[in-house]
Amino acid sequence: MTSETQMRQAMQAYIDAFNVSDPQAIADLYADDATVEDPVGSAVKSGKAEILKFYKMAVATGAKLALAAPIRTSHGNSAAMAFDVKLNMPEGKAHIQVIDVMTFNDAGKFTSMRAFWGKSDMVMTP
């Protein structure tokens, strides 16, 4: 089982890779058969190729992430983090409040990521 320290380190690495616009580093945090559902209710991206494609698009928006609270782990193989995203949308600059929940395999790789945010969690900013 992945330790709490490993889960926190992987999730911090996710934020750090996002903030330097490195989609490959983000994708490398995932297991080969992982899934991404961002936001929850959208089409699920499956496997490294789809996940890498998704993150290439995501970092192209100039997205920057900042933790809104400490990363929370569990007694199992999951962890969650609340964070703020600032990015450029076709309509202008936006701010989204998000909670990501990741599950991990024994190697410490993400097996799934689900991003919880709805329309009311995104606001356009000047």
Global pTM value: 0.95
125 burial (CB, 10 Å; 0-12 / 13-18 / 19+) is exposed
pLDDT at 1 (0 to 100): 84
Domain that holds residue 68: 4-125
Query: Is residue 14 annotated as a catalytic residue, yes or no?
Result: yes
Encode pLDDT of 32-88 as tens digits: 999 999 999 999 999 999 999 999 999 999 999 999 999 999 999 999 999 999 999
Identified catalytic residue from 14, 30, 55, 100 = 14
Q: Band the pLDDT of 126: cuts 50, 70, 90.
A: confident
- pLDDT above 70 coverage of the chain, percent: 100
On the question of pLDDT at 25 being above 90, the answer is yes
43, 49 contact by CB (below 8 A)? no
- CATH for 13: 3.10.450.50
User: Is 28 a catalytic site residue?
Assistant: no
Which residues does 64 contact at the CB level (< 8 Å), separation at least 6? 18, 19, 85, 86, 87
Round to whole Å and give the CA distance between 116 and 103.
14
Mean pLDDT of the chain: 98
Compute the half-sphere exposure of residue 123: CA atoms within 13 Å on the CB side of its CA. Answer: 5
Cα(115)–Cα(87) distance, rounded to whole angstroms? 16
Number of structural domains the chain divides into: 1
Which of 30, 38, 55, 100 is catalytic? The answer is 38
